[in-house]
Structure 1
Amino acid sequence: MAGYLTTHVLDTARGCPAEGLKIALYKVSGNSHSKLVEMQTNTDGRTDSPILPMDHFKTGTYELIFFAGDYLRDTHQVSEDLLFLDQIPIRFGMSDPESHYHVPLLLSAHGYSTYRGS
């Protein structure tokens, strides 16, 4: 089985999945970023398909950008122009070509947490 990448975003302030949050995935090489895909979370806070499916999976360094500011404004949790959290970048490495990598995000207007999930 080939590797693949998924995510799950939960809105910890409202106690529900973060529906409609835009996510972009970049391949990182040194100081260069190459955008691979942009997706949006569904009603369960997940993307409808893997962010990086098996047929496109390669080991290396990647960065997920979570567009939290847009989501927080859309859900009326913030109204400021200058937000404490706007775009949340999470840079990580995937070294096993056979693994499922899962990078969840627990989000509120003033904090977030992530980990390697299963």
Structure 2
Amino acid sequence: DQRTKLLESRSGSDGRFRLELDIAADAPATRYELVIDSGTYFAGRGIPQAGMTIMREIVLRFEMPDPSAQYHMPVIISPNNYSTWWSS
């Protein structure tokens, strides 16, 4: 697999990450990967038991076949759990 880093960013003060990508030039079958550094996020929050965090990264792999569509992928995280889903 050839990988190209598109960006690196942080969530806003509300914990949300918002981004628009121009994928018009990408093939419809292009696979994307979103890596969330959840270990660093919780380590900086002074949460009890943060040292016990066992999940350091959350990795989501997905496709966005329609360049004109809007893709919304919420992720809810806790120190050792996460939930995600897709909506348009």
Q: Same fold (TM over 0.5)?
A: yes
- Deviations 1:6-64 (CA, angstroms, capped at 9, x unpaired): xxxxxxxxxxxxxxxxxxxxxxxxx22110101111022223x5152xxx223421000
The 1-side partners of 2:15 and 2:73 are apart by: 12
Greater Cα radius of gyration, structure 1 or 2: 2
Number of residue-to-residue matches in the alignment = 82
How much is the aligned-residue C-alpha RMSD, in angstroms?
Answer: 1.6
Q: Which runs of 5+ in 2 are unaligned?
A: none
Q: Does 1:65 align with 2:35?
A: yes
Q: Which runs of 5+ in 1 are unaligned?
A: 1-30
Q: Does 1:103 align with 2:69?
A: no
Structure 2 letter corresponding to 1:50 = L
TM-score where L is the length of structure 2: 0.81
The corresponding residue for 1:11 is none
Residues 4-83 of structure 1: pairs in structure 2 closer than 5 A: 31-47=1-17, 49-52=18-21, 56-57=22-23, 58=26, 59=28, 60-77=30-47, 78-80=50-52, 83=53
